[in-house]
Structure 1
Amino acid sequence: MFDIRYAAERGKADFGWLQSQHTFSFGSYYDPAQMGFSALRVINDDRVAPGAGFDTHGHKDMEILSLVLTGRIAHKDSAGNTEVLPAGEFQLMSAGKGIYHSEFNASKHDELTFLQIWLQPNQFGGEPGYQQKDFGQKPGLTLILSPDGREGSLTLLQDALLYQLILPTAAQQQLDIAPGRKVYIHLISGELDIAGHTLQSGDGIKISEQTALQLTANTAAKALIFDLP
């Protein structure tokens, strides 16, 4: 089964300093047909004005992933982590029993664009955690998140995997899917053909009841692939 989530149909929020597009229901945007997919709960495509950001606020029992597309995030949290996240790096914050943090555009002159992604954990009430890593821009599939930190990936509190996919124009990638698993693909840039379904930048697709997929880049493409329970 394939269900495309077109970029133009996403929920939108405009706070002046923040322009956000919501793949799933979030904040004031509510769509009962878009409440997440398996353990994947949030994909927000955010644009933050220079010097602006999210003031200190709290989270509990959520795995929160950020990927900077352009610019830099200045991060500070109640666990003592003070970091700057540049473009291309992934940051995973496990909220656990509770954590407070702020996220600001580290530049006073340039816009920040990033993806904010939430996954529901399968462990609750633990100590908060923080991980950050640049996985490079190697063509093909690169493992970003896993429950056991395999292949140098960040450790996620959920039976899920996240891959970064980078393909040059006309390149193909075979994706094998274990029985009973679900897959969500979010296309960051380019154009990608997935079993005859074409995705443009910002589109996503829910995939279930499949065991293998052929991915073809119609143009140079970059995507996130979630392997979900």
Structure 2
Amino acid sequence: MVQILYANQTPTMGAGGPFQIRRIRPGKAAASSRLDGAFGPLSVVDHATLRANNTVPMHEHRNDEILSYFISGKIAHLDSSGAVNALSRNVLMLMNAGSGFSHEETNMEETLEALQIFVRPQEQDLPPGVQFYARPADYANGTWQFIAGPEGSGAPLIFRNQVMMYDIHAREGEELRIPEAEGMSPFVYIMRGSVEVEGHALAKGDGFIVDDDDAPPILRTDSPVIIVVFLVDRKAKASTSGTISGW
């Protein structure tokens, strides 16, 4: 059985302003959710928009693993390592904040739409760093794409905990089975479009988890879609000292 977290059940911050965030706590999909709403080490997924000609000024994170995943817009990224990069749906970034890492983002073009994904690391105060991933030209080809995972998983971006992330850009009328990994539980998020799952109609901003003993359901696409899937070891050791991920 799926347990659904609808978009209208998640709070929006900055409504009407240039930087707007709808904060998703994936664990809240569970009927017996944890008080803090984390889904194992997957703590927070922020669905964000940033209007053109705006900057999120330099600020520090500690003990957050932060993946920036874009579906529209481009930003200029500056951080405390000295890295200056242009980020977009074709170039993703994962910041391993560890003992302390600062960054600034400026959007000078169209409105940006993105997810910022906050994962709890296995330990606090690990060495900080930043990773970038230039996606292959054919990534929107209707197959699941492996974006991030733990060390040794073969993922292009590395979380320092037991979390994997996939996405797919699929056409209307497809039947999709979500990725699986032994010992990992899925959280599925509809980034764009609409799907039907187990008789439920889900649209942009909705997400769901699957009971641990159940086989992953079939998703039937009712429109062109972008779907993001996280596979999580809900029992993994995780630090709760992160700036965002820790609460």
TM interval, shorter chain, is: 0.7 to 0.9
Q: Does the 8 A contact of 1:67 with 1:88 survive in 2?
A: no
Q: 1:140 to 1:78 in 2, by over 3 A?
A: same
Which residue is 1:5 aligned to?
5
Q: Does the 8 A contact of 1:39 with 1:228 survive in 2?
A: yes
1:63-114: per-residue Cα shift (whole Å, max 9, x none)?
Answer: 101112221121111111111102343211100111111122133xx32221
**Distance in structure 2 (CA, Å) of the matches to 1:129 and 1:38:** 23
Amino acid at match of 2:22: Q
Calculate the TM-score normalised by the size of structure 2: 0.81
Unaligned runs of 5+ in 1: 26-30
Within 5 A, what are the aligned runs for 1:1-229?
1-14=1-14, 16-24=17-25, 35-107=37-109, 110-135=110-135, 136-148=139-151, 150-175=153-178, 177-178=180-181, 180-209=183-212, 210-229=214-233
Amino acid at match of 1:127: P
The count of corresponding residues between Structure 1 and Structure 2 is: 222
Which of 1 and 2 has higher RCO (CA within 8 Å, sep 6+)?
Answer: 2
Amino acid at match of 1:190: G
1:1-56: per-residue Cα shift (whole Å, max 9, x none)?
Answer: 4221111222011262212211139xxxxx98662222111111111122212111
Between the aligned residues of both structures, percent identity stands at 25
Amino acid at match of 1:101: H
**Distance in structure 1 (CA, Å) of the matches to 2:45 and 2:155:** 24
Q: 1:139 to 1:82 in 2, by over 3 A?
A: same
SS of equivalent residue, structure 1 residue 212: coil
Q: 1:226 to 1:152 in 2, by over 3 A?
A: closer
Q: Does the 8 A contact of 1:193 with 1:218 survive in 2?
A: yes
Measured on the aligned residues, the alpha-carbon RMSD in Å equals 2.3
Unaligned runs of 5+ in 2: 27-32, 234-247
Q: Does the 8 A contact of 2:170 with 2:225 survive in 1?
A: yes
Q: Does the 8 A contact of 2:149 with 2:163 survive in 1?
A: yes
1:151 Cα deviation from its structure 2 partner: 4.5
1:212 Cα deviation from its structure 2 partner: 3.0
